[in-house]
Amino acid sequence: MGSSRKITSLLLMFCLAVLVRAEYAKYKDPKQPLAVRINDLLGRMTLAEKIGQMTQIERVNATAEAMSKYFIGSVLSGGGSVPAPQASAQAWASMVNEMQRGSLSTRLGIPMIYGIDAVHGNNNAYRATIFPHNIGLGATRDPMLVKRIGEATALEVRATGISYAFAPCIAVCRDPRWGRCYESYSEDPKVVQSMTTLISGLQGDAPSDYTGRPYVGGSKKVAACAKHYVGDGGTYMGINANNTIIDTHGLMSIHMPAYYNSIIRGVSTVMVSYSSWNGEKMHANHFLITDFLKNKLKFRGFVITDYEGIDQITSPPGVNYSYSVEAGIGAGIDMVMVPFAYTEFIDDLTYQVKNNIILMSRIDDAVYRILRVKFTMGLFENPFADPSLAGEIGSHEHREVAREAVRKSLVLLKNGKSASTPLLPLPKKARKILVAGSHADNLGNQCGGWTITWQGEPGNNNTAGTTILSAIKSTVDPGTQVVYAENPDRSAVDAGEYDYAIVVVGEPPYAETAGDNLNLTIPEPGPAVIQTVCESVKCVVVLISGRPLVVEPYIGAMDAFVAAWLPGSEGQGVADVLFGDYGFTGKLPRTWFRSVDQLPMNVGDEHYDPLFPFGFGLTTEARK
């Protein structure tokens, strides 16, 4: 009896050992080398599983069932696509985790990667810190500050359970008529190159031997995305997603350099531009995506489309979708952002691979790159949100970084009717001061586009922050009377007996094509407010805008003029410098034109006659 029991137990142990060995997969073992893990997993995958990895769908479609049925590799939130209005970090994380459970329930359990447009902070999330848009950061000339912004943004993105940020935009905006110009750090490629430090902030510092390979330094960092490849800031007349007409030397010397730096920093992904280069759509450009980016520059991360980007290969969009799939994947695109029509994409690509229109080697290249990023990020070991990070959203520490960025981004363009009579810094102790203008008490206006919603929204109820008016009130002496009038009439200004006035005007929020603008005038009633106030009272005009605007007709009436760009949620940074707690240090990241008839006009051009040249910026000393 005893010997039969022993044989049974030995058999049982043998069977268990066989089961354990059968369950062991090299790709699941973090001790295995990266290439071993990728090749092991790739070798187990069916065509359906591979094409699923290449597919990125919109949050609203990403049920756990859809994730598992189609083996979806990635999910995104389009601008303003949120789990619920004013959703908490916990609500975001719960949503992402549910989708992840769907992915992990599949045969191979490949985790999905969730991407979001965190372009100036985790800007879709309620109460997140909203940093200045890139044009303001370009004015700081402070790459290490930009790196710290990346670090803070990574924590606020991870707080919502998300691991992938569609940032930075490293466009070189050559024409301010472009509606995305505020997403560009500068017209100067060298300034844009210097600001690729944001990637190191988001992802962590890549080791020196990592050139070309994606790097994400742990579960408190996020995968970054250099965009939009390439030439998006050079389109004709600044028309969004239009044609960039430039020779190869111009493309390589103006629009390409920041990609070199991004790749050296181990950027995980590159997003292709909607725009064309000399008439050829970037989403179908095999030379620039495969021959140059992948083969010559040795970029080893994955290439992703823009939102419905392959649809735009044809005109009108989507008119020959199967051709768009063939052209885009054939050009070297690895992951396709198909928010809604993802089953059509999957069916078309499957058909093309089965009929040798797209080679399996092209599919394997795409999936290898996607898996490389996922393994590098540690998603297989840490697929779910870290609940301990929820408190990072809008933290005091991050808001202080944003406030510092606002201070350093302000560019002082005029200070006094003559150099001997500077107006700034303003005295905190005054009898009575006037604050006027549409942007003085409007958080949405000072944050701009890509804030809670895609286009951004005016008003003070969209998220948390400090308006410029409330910052002024908290900065001046308690005995100083602050009068606010959004659009005061002349008689009230004349009768007010004000010591001085602060006029805050500018552009309404906008994003992408909605911001394309051929006249670049200050929207009404801004010019009228400037003239009404500044003709009666000593005034400083603070302009809130995503780019230089036409100001020459009004500059003579101003005593002082400050370009504040789109400062974000921390308006206190504006007051810090106006009242002299800190000095002005910002330098123009782009040329300030006199008239739109001069555009495009950039530093170094033969006919260069700006109102204020690139790099200009007066300085003041902080009050002791």
Structure tokens at 73: 């590799």
In the block, tokens 């974000």 appear at 568
**Closest to 235 in 3D by CA, of 281, 192, 269:** 281
Catalytic site includes residue 40? no
- Strands across the sheet with 113-116, in order? 164-165, 113-116, 74-77, 55-58, 336-337
CATH of 45-389, one of 3.50.50.60, 3.20.20.300, 2.40.110.10, 3.40.190.290: 3.20.20.300
What is the DSSP code (8-state) at residue 521?
B
Beta carbons of 261 and 196 less than 8 angstroms apart: yes
State which H helix or E strand residue 277 sits in. strand 276-277
What pLDDT is attached to residue 19?
Answer: 44
Q: Which residues of the chain have pLDDT under 50?
A: 15-20
CA-CA-CA-CA torsion sign (115, 121, 122, 123): negative
Selecting among 175, 306, 441, 507, the annotated active-site residue is 306
Reduced to 3 states (helix: H, G, I; strand: E, B; else coil), residue 455 is coil
Residues paired with residue 244 on neighbouring β-strands, in sequence order: 277
Beta carbons of 64 and 49 less than 8 angstroms apart: no
Q: Where are the domains of the chain?
A: 45-389, 410-612
Where do runs of H (alpha helix) occur along 87-224?
89-104, 134-140, 143-158, 189-194, 197-203
Rounded to whole angstroms, the Cα distance separating 568 from 402 reads: 8
Q: What is the pTM of this model?
A: 0.96
- pLDDT tens digit sequence for 214-228: 999 999 999 999 999
Structure tokens at 579: 């009242």
Q: How far is CA 59 from CA 34, 488, 618, in A?
A: 29, 45, 46
What pLDDT is attached to residue 15?
Answer: 46
- pLDDT tens digit sequence for 148-171: 999 999 999 999 999 999 999 999
Selecting among 512, 559, 570, 576, the annotated active-site residue is 512
Catalytic site includes residue 512? yes
In the block, tokens 């400037």 appear at 530
Cα dihedral angle (41, 44, 48, 49), rounded to 10 degrees?
A: -30
CATH architecture of 410-612: 3-Layer(aba) Sandwich (3.40)
